[in-house]
Structure 1
Amino acid sequence: MKHLLDRPVWSALQSGHAALAEGSEWARRYPPSIVPFAACADNSKESLEALQSLPAVGEVMALVEAAPVVLPEGLTAVTEATLVQMIAERPYERISDSRIEPLTEADAEDMLALATLTKPGPFTLRAQSLGTFWGIKMDGRLIAMGGQRMRQTGFAELSGLCTHPDFQARGFGKLLFRFVAGEISARDETVYLHAYIGNTSAIALYTALGFHLRSEMNLRIVKRRS
Structure 2
Amino acid sequence: MSHILDRPAWNALRTAHATLAEGNERARRYPPSIVPFAAPADDTAESLEALENLPAADEAMALVEANPIAIPPGLMVVSEGKLVQMIAERPYQQISDSRIEPLTEADAAEMLALATLTKPGPFTLRAQSLGTFWGVKTDGRLVAMAGQRMRQPGFAELSGLCTHPDFRGRGLGTLLFRFVAGEISARNETAYLHAYATNAPAISLYKAMGFRLRSEMNLTIVTPRQSA
TM-score range, shorter chain: over 0.9
The residue that corresponds to 2:195 in the other structure is 195
Aligned pairs for 1:45-194 (under 5 A) are: 45-194=45-194
Return the alpha-carbon distance in structure 1 between the equivalents of residues 59 and 191 of structure 2.
31
Q: Does the 8 A contact of 1:58 with 1:225 survive in 2?
A: no
Tell me the C-alpha RMSD between the 2 structures.
0.5
Cα deviation for residue 31 of structure 1 reads 0.4
Return the alpha-carbon distance in structure 2 between the equivalents of residues 118 and 88 of structure 1.
24
Instruction: Please tell me the residue identity of whatever aligns with 2:221.
Output: I
TM normalised by structure 2 equals 0.99
Instruction: Please tell me the residue identity of whatever aligns with 1:10.
Output: W
Return the alpha-carbon distance in structure 2 between the equivalents of residues 199 and 44 of structure 1.
33
SS at match of 1:202: helix
Following TM superposition, the consecutive aligned residue runs of length 4 or more in structure 1 with deviations greater than 3 angstroms are none
Return the alpha-carbon distance in structure 1 between the equivalents of residues 100 and 183 of structure 2.
12
Gaps of 5+ in 1: none
Return the alpha-carbon distance in structure 2 between the equivalents of residues 135 and 202 of structure 1.
20
1:55-74 CA-partner distances (Å, limit 9, x unpaired): 01121000000001110001
Q: Does the 8 A contact of 1:87 with 1:213 survive in 2?
A: yes
SS at match of 2:134: strand
Return the alpha-carbon distance in structure 2 between the equivalents of residues 88 and 16 of structure 1.
20
Cα deviation for residue 26 of structure 1 reads 0.3
1:108-152 CA-partner distances (Å, limit 9, x unpaired): 000000000000000000000000000000000000000000000
TM normalised by structure 1 equals 0.99
Return the alpha-carbon distance in structure 1 between the equivalents of residues 88 and 78 of structure 2.
32
Return the alpha-carbon distance in structure 2 between the equivalents of residues 56 and 146 of structure 1.
31
- Work out the percentage of aligned pairs sharing the same amino acid: 75
Cα deviation for residue 225 of structure 1 reads 1.3
Give the count of matched residue pairs.
226
Return the alpha-carbon distance in structure 2 between the equivalents of residues 111 and 117 of structure 1.
10
SS at match of 2:219: strand
The residue that corresponds to 2:34 in the other structure is 34
SS at match of 1:47: helix
Cα deviation for residue 156 of structure 1 reads 0.1
1:183-225 CA-partner distances (Å, limit 9, x unpaired): 0000000000000000000000000010000000000011111
Gaps of 5+ in 2: none
SS at match of 1:58: coil
Return the alpha-carbon distance in structure 2 between the equivalents of residues 15 and 211 of structure 1.
24
